[in-house]
Amino acid sequence: MDSENKLPQDQEGSALDAMEHQGSGMAKRLATFISGLVECMCFAGVIFGWASLVFVLKDLHYFEDMCMSAANQTTNQTDCSAQDEQLSLIFTIGSFMNNFMTFPTGYIFDRFGTTVARLLAISAYTSGTLLVAFSTAATAVILFPALSLLSVGGILLILTNMQVGNLFGKHRSTVITLYNGAFDSSSAVFLVIKLLYEQGLALRTMFLFMSACSAWHLVRTFFLMPRHHIPYPLPPGYTYGMSCRRRSQSYRTYEEKRRPSSLDEGQDSGNLHPNSALSEENATTKGHTETTLNLKEPAVVSFWSCVFSQLFFWHLMWLSVMQLRHYLFIGTLNPMLIQLSDKDASLVSHYTNAFAFTQLCGVLCAPWNGLILDRHKRGQKKQGSSQGVPDSLADLRSCVLSLLITVLQCIAFSICASIPVLPVQYATFILQVLSRSFLYGGNAAFLAIAFPLEHFGKLYGIIMGLSAVVSLLQYPFFSLIKGPLKEDPFYVNIGLIILMLLALVNPFMVWRECRRRQKEQDATHSSTIPVLTAEKSGLESSI
């Protein structure tokens, strides 16, 4: 009787322990999610608030000697186009490094894990903020390595944080796009610096404070992030962070995932089934199931086969042409506002603040793309449930609408940017932040969906690196506007709108790939039905 009473008590205790562990685990996941959102919003993409920082740098006389050397001696007006070109070059190199260095850093992330990648990010970011803090008008040239280091550190922070979406299952795409939206919103940090500077706070003080925030990054690295990677789908009982006492499960091999638990072993051995015939039937059925699963098990897809696929190539084109449009707009915003406002400094400051303020809305706009992906996926699964559509195919189908909407948004933004009327730029700012939020969130979500997860870091890195090469065109475009076109960007804008029509090919290619995979799935399904029927008949006859 004692043993009979003890068993329910033990089961009740273990159930309470499991509930307590699940509650603490969910609290830790929420802490990881919220702290990661704050980190991305305040640090990861600050370089894209460059227009606000340029206003401060010009007030501090950075590269002002170029204005004097280019001054018109016959009039009192000063030509500062050389100063604008130098500042634009800093942003061009910084934004190039932001993308180009993603491939080697993505490889480091895939190869050595989260902790090593984040320590590298913190080192680069802290070095960049210190260089800006101790720069002066006489040493303005150190802004080149400073902005590059800020870019590399920021992109590594967002890269290591995007895996947090794996902790939230069916909301994974929403979390990934939300983090990318926070990355876009972080450009408003330079707006805060501009406003505080106008209130009398020194630029050095503010960047020294940003350097001191590295302590916050270190705390997250060791206590709220895994040592290696967060797997997807998430295995039961998954734990991470330094506070965990047992072995981290952030890296589980395929064999470890397939290995049965002790309870499964007990069931297989027949300890819980006194009826030996029933045990044999379960074992036989399990054997047939494993055979069927092995038949359906997909072949391992290599990294280079992903890179050289048509799906990857057209997605690269999709990202590159729209990213070039965004980078050119950000890099030329200050000269454009000066021209449209007839060099009215108060108007330039007002519109610069308006642009930076709209960047804050990136974190609100980006989840819309994730909701489109997640809701469309659920609709595709319901529609194809009778056909046995797998999750991977439903995920890929959900990308088509997202990719198409992103292109249409970017074309609308480019049309508004081409209109040389100052009030119209309010609409340009809104469409720009909406398009940019969809662009980067959709890019990360698509790579996580369309290709194997173990290649995500490398694929994300190489696509950002290759698109960075295309983004270098922004500097010759800027020189073309300043020189032969006499500061009239109209023809460059029209050319970019025509170029962006290439991005429409990508959603079409994804749709075609979905049809191809569906046909393969239908063919596989129809070929396995006779095998399963024969196995079932043999099983029934043996029983």
Encode pLDDT of 165-192 as tens digits.
888 877 777 787 788 778 878 888 888 8
Select from 132, 137, 131 the least CA-distant residue to 58: 137
pLDDT (0 to 100) of residue 251: 40
Question: Is residue 270 situated within a structural domain?
Answer: no
pLDDT, tens digit, for every residue of 496-505? 899 888 889 9
Say if CB 123 and CB 73 are below 8 A apart: no
Alpha helices, DSSP H, located in 40-101: 50-59, 65-69, 81-100
Mean pLDDT of 68-97: 72
What is the per-residue pLDDT for 55? 84
Residues in the chain: 543
Assigned domain for 526 exists = no
Q: What average pLDDT score do residues 382-407 get? A: 70
Contact 371, 438 (CB under 8 A): no
Q: Label residues 225-251 b or e (16+ Cβ within 10 Å = b).
A: bbbbbbbeeeeeebbbbeebeeebbbe
Region for residue 169 given its phi and psi (left: phi exceeds 0; alpha: psi -120 to 50; beta: otherwise) = left
Burial (CB < 10 A; 0-12, 13-18, 19+), residue 145, is middle
Q: Which sign, positive or negative, has the C-alpha torsion 474, 478, 479, 480?
A: positive
Sequence-separated (6 or more) residues with CB below 8 Å from residue 444: 162, 176, 177, 180, 460
Looking at per-residue confidence, does 305 or 386 come out higher?
Answer: 305
Rounded CA-CA distance 44/210 in Å is 12
Domain annotation covers residue 121: yes
What is the per-residue pLDDT across 199-217, written as a single tens digit (0 to 9) for each? 889 999 999 999 999 898 9
The mean predicted confidence, pLDDT, of the chain is 76
Residue 286 clears pLDDT 70, i.e. is over it: no
Buried b (16+ CB within 10 A) or exposed e, 92-125: bbbbbbbbbbbbebbbbbbeebbbbbbbbbbebb
Q: Would 216 be classed as within a structural domain? A: yes
Q: What is the pLDDT of residues 114-159, one digit of tens each?
A: 899 999 999 999 999 999 999 988 898 999 999 999 988 988 888 8
DSSP string of 228-282, one letter each residue: S---SSPPTT---STT--SPP-SS--HHHHHS--HHHHHHHHTTT---HHHHHHH
How many CB atoms are located within 10 Å of the residue 434 CB? Answer: 25
| 354 occurs within a structural domain | yes
Whether pLDDT at 411 is above 90: yes
50-59 and 345-359 helices, crossing angle to 10°: 150
Q: How many domains does the chain have?
A: 1
Domain contains 455:
yes
The answer to whether the bond into 507 is cis (omega within 30° of 0) is: no
Q: By residue range, what is the domain housing residue 307?
A: 19-68+78-238+303-379+390-520
pLDDT of 175? 82
DSSP code per residue over 284-300: HHHHHHHHHHHHHPPPP
Tokens 């305040």 correspond to 42
Contact between residue 454 and residue 298 where contact means Cβ atoms under 8 Å apart: no
Query: In angstroms, rounded to a whole number, what is the distance separating the alpha carbons of residues 84 and 97?
Result: 20
Residue partners of 446: CB distance under 8 A and separation at least 6: 315, 399, 402, 403
pLDDT of residue 268: 36
Q: Is residue 276 domain-resident?
A: no
pLDDT (0 to 100) of residue 257: 44
Q: How high is the pLDDT of residue 129?
A: 93
For residues 222 and 156, is the Cβ–Cβ distance under 8 A?
no
Kindly state the tokens that stand for 519. Answer: 């046909």
Q: What is the pLDDT of residues 310-353, one digit of tens each?
A: 889 999 999 999 989 988 888 788 888 888 888 888 888 888 88
The secondary structure of 153-169, three-state, reads HHHHHHHHHHHHHHHHH
pLDDT above 60: residue 162: yes
Q: What's the CATH number where 56 sits?
A: 1.20.1250.20
- Token code pair at residue 432: 């720009």
